C-alpha cells in the first residue's frame, strides 16, 4: 500500500470511499450468497423500492437501480 497524505478535495475522498465500499459489499455479497443461496435473488426483487434520494434535477431512480443491478449481475458471474 502506498502511504500518501489524505486529499483535501471532497470529490477525491468520496470517489475513494465509493470504490472501497463497492469492493467490500461485492465480496460480502459473494460470500453470503455462497453460504445462503438466494440472497442475490432477494436483493434483486427489492430493486423496485430503491431510489435516488436527491431532491433536485439530478434525481434519477433508474440510474441507481442500474448500478445495483450491475453489482448483482457481477456478483453472480464471479
Model pLDDT for residues 52-75, shown as the tens digit of each residue: 999 999 999 999 999 999 999 999
Q: What is the per-residue pLDDT for 55?
A: 96
The pLDDT-based confidence of 78 (bands split at 50, 70, 90) is confident
Per-residue confidence (pLDDT) for residue 1, from 0 to 100: 56
Contact between 25 and 70 under an 8 Å Cβ cutoff? The reply is no
Q: What is the pLDDT of residue 24?
A: 95
Q: How confident is the model at residue 77 (pLDDT cuts 50, 70, 90)?
A: confident
Predicted confidence at residue 4, as pLDDT, reads 64
CA distances in angstroms from 62 to 3, 11, 12, 51, 53, listed in the order given: 38, 23, 25, 7, 12
Q: In this predicted structure, what is the pLDDT of residue 5? A: 63
Amino acid at each position: 500500500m502506498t502511504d500518501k497524505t489524505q486529499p483535501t478535495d471532497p470529490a477525491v475522498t468520496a470517489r475513494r470511499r465509493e470504490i472501497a465500499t463497492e469492493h467490500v459489499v461485492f465480496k460480502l455479497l459473494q460470500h453470503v450468497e455462497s453460504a445462503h443461496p438466494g440472497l442475490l435473488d432477494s436483493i434483486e426483487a427489492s430493486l423496485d423500492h430503491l431510489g435516488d434520494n436527491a431532491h433536485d434535477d439530478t434525481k434519477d431512480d433508474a440510474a441507481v437501480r442500474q448500478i445495483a443491478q450491475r453489482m448483482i449481475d457481477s456478483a453472480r458471474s464471479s
